[in-house]
Amino acid sequence: MSMATNKETDDAASGSSAYRSWTLTSLLLRHKRASLGSIAFLLVLIAVTFVTTVSNPSRQALSDSATCSEWAAATPAQKIAYSRLYINEYGAYPNTTRNADVIETSINKACIHASYLGEAEDVSVLASLRHAF
């Protein structure tokens, strides 16, 4: 038998709690390659999420053929952009910004009415404004 003994084995055998505590730092230092790979993968996921969010095509202005369901899912910027587009195409008003809010409110009311009738996915925003449902 060998006279050399392992200190951890002796401490564990004698009943002391010599187990190392697990910390994130010690784990990262022990597994450097896996840690670097995990961090790189995490950074790639964050970058992909950011790029797909910024370049989302739903940030574009709505069109006349957009349904009331699409209107409900649109961002406030998209709603204002469509309201201004509606004013420019179907009637020029002196105060476009104030009237854009009025048009947005009118679309909201018309689309809510279409939703109550169960036609929100079939009726376009333009048709809802003209109450053609």
Tell me the residue length of the chain.
133
Taking only the tens of pLDDT, the chain with its 133 residues reads: 455 555 555 555 555 555 667 888 888 888 899 999 999 999 999 998 888 777 655 556 678 788 888 888 888 888 888 888 888 787 766 666 677 788 888 889 988 888 888 887 888 888 888 877 7
| pTM for the whole structure | 0.51
Beta-bridge partners for 90: none
Alpha carbon of 118 to those of 5, 50, 104, 126, 133: distances in Å? 80, 36, 21, 17, 10
